[in-house]
């Protein structure tokens, strides 16, 4: 017999009305109840089909999306428009404009980890227009994410959040790293190392780009060498100076190219190595990731340009989807970055 809402209601011993409201995104449903219903629906294999006739009239009402940027005010935003946070906005507002969505952009304090604190209380009460959903820019404390997700549909941009069921739009780490490495391999590099930093907060993109690096090694049939991978494993990390010493040592030992999971790591690397008389693009190859132009560098770094505008657009769009259909499988969208051919990937 087919699964219907009644089955779910029976299983949870609640009324079918409540089940229906969960799927129709009705206000006034306890988030916990909704979660329980969705979990049971998945378990029983229920498929909710949006009603087809009615969904046109509904979209006429104005929605409001919050854009929360988790960053110190002076650090990121005020600095310049080059910061990722600012670069994402055009895409977001483009989508919002096209679809008559209001935006409410707020900067929140990264050090506030208590969702019940006045900082967030205020944020939520201040507005007359209720938020319908939230876009998250930069990493948030997980407690905050939990609190926000209970109240609103959320979509995260660029940064990802481990195992929690948060939708996320990001650059395609795998393709990016794969392209960079292919470029190196094409130039004759056979021993390619991975150089990162340890971050105080767990940086998921480091792991993701590292895993892309490993995957490419395997597919290109290049051997895995533990000693050419620096600062990925927690138990096997180096201090800043120590790390560079090790990198120097490995370079002398035969590593001809280094993959760095971020541009700023690569720029610093280049600077340090220069002090030791090693020139990037000549004595060794190096690539970054992010496509942030650096001032005061003579060389153009080979890197992957992150498609910020597209990410912003897709994120807003995904959130819009979630507003009308909250019972939807969590998804990650990875957009192709553009490889920027710099001068640092040259053959020896």
Partner DNA sequence: ATAATAATTGCACAATCATGCACTTATTTT
Partner DNA sequence: AAAATAAGTGCATGATTGTGCAATTATTAT
Interaction partner, residue 215 (a second copy, DNA, none; CB < 5-8 Å by kind): a second copy
Give per-residue burial for 311-344: e unless 16+ CB within 10 Å, then b: bbbbbbbbbbbbbbebbeeeeebbbebebbebeb
User: Of 29 and 124, which has the nearer Cβ to a second copy?
Assistant: 29
Would you call 110 helix, strand, or coil by DSSP? coil
Interaction partner, residue 282 (DNA, a second copy, none; CB < 5-8 Å by kind): none
User: Of 20 and 328, which has the nearer Cβ to DNA?
Assistant: 20
Touching DNA, residues 32-61 (CB under 7 A): 33, 49-54
336 contacts 307 by C-beta, under 8 angstroms: yes
Q: What are the C-alpha distances in Å from 7 to residues 30, 46, 303?
A: 20, 9, 53
User: Of 50 and 253, which has the nearer Cβ to DNA?
Assistant: 50
User: Of 19 and 339, which has the nearer Cβ to DNA?
Assistant: 19
For residues 240 and 272, give the distance between their C-alpha atoms in angstroms, rounded to a whole number: 11
Phi, psi of 340 (to 5 degrees): -95, 115
Token readout for 19 is 């089940």
144 contacts 76 by C-beta, under 8 angstroms: no
Residue ranges in contact with a second copy by CB under 8 A: 27, 30-32, 42, 47, 49-50, 52, 90, 94, 97-98, 162-163, 165, 172, 174-175, 178-179, 182, 202, 207-208, 210-212, 214-215, 218-219, 221, 223-224, 226, 232-235, 307, 309-310, 313-314, 327-336, 338
Neighbours of 4 (CB within 10 A): 12
Give yes or no for residue 333 binding DNA (CB under 7 A): no
Nearest approach, Cβ of 16 to DNA (angstroms)?
A: 6
Task: List the x/- string, 6-25, binding to DNA by CB under 7 A.
Answer: x-------xxxxx-xx-xx-
DSSP string covering 214-262: HHHHHHTTPPP-GGGEES-SGGG---HHHHHHHHHHHHHHT--EEE-SS
User: Of 48 and 112, which has the nearer Cβ to a second copy?
Assistant: 48
- Name the residues that contact DNA, by CB under 7 A: 2, 4-6, 14-18, 20-21, 23-24, 26, 28-31, 33, 49-54
């Amino acid at each position: 017999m087919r699964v219907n809402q009644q089955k779910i209601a029976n299983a949870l011993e609640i009324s079918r009305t409540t089940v229906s409201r969960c799927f129709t995104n009705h206000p006034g449903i306890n988030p916990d109840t909704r979660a329980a219903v969705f979990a049971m629906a998945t378990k029983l294999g229920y498929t909710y089909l949006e009603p087809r006739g009615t969904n046109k009239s509904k979209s006429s009402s104005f929605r409001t999306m919050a854009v929360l940027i988790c960053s110190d005010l002076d650090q990121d935003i005020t600095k310049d428009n080059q910061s990722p946070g600012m670069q994402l906005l055009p895409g977001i507002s483009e989508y919002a404009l096209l679809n008559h969505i209001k935006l409410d952009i707020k900067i929140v304090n990264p050090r506030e980890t208590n969702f019940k604190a006045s900082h967030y209380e205020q944020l939520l009460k201040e507005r007359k227009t209720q938020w319908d959903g939230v876009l998250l820019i930069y990493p948030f404390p997980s407690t905050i994410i939990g609190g926000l997700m209970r109240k609103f549909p959320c979509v995260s941009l660029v940064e990802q959040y481990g195992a929690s069921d948060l939708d996320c739009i990001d650059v395609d780490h795998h393709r990016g790293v794969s392209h960079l490495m292919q470029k190196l391999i094409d130039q004759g590099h056979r021993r390619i190392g991975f150089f990162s930093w340890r971050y105080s907060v767990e940086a998921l993109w480091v792991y993701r780009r590292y895993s892309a690096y490993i995957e490419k090694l395997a597919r290109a049939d290049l051997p895995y060498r533990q000693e050419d991978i620096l600062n990925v494993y927690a138990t096997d990390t180096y201090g800043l100076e120590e790390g560079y010493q090790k990198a120097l040592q490995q370079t002398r030992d035969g590593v001809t190219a280094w993959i760095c999971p971020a541009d700023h790591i690569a720029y610093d690397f280049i600077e340090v190595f220069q002090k030791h008389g090693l020139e990037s693009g000549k004595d060794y190859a190096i690539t970054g990731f992010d496509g942030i132009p650096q001032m005061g560098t003579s060389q153009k770094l080979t890197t992957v340009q992150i498609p910020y505008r597209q990410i912003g657009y897709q994120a807003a769009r995904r959130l819009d989807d979630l507003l009308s259909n909250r019972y939807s499988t969590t998804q990650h969208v990875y957009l192709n970055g553009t490889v920027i051919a710099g001068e640092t990937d040259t053959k020896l």
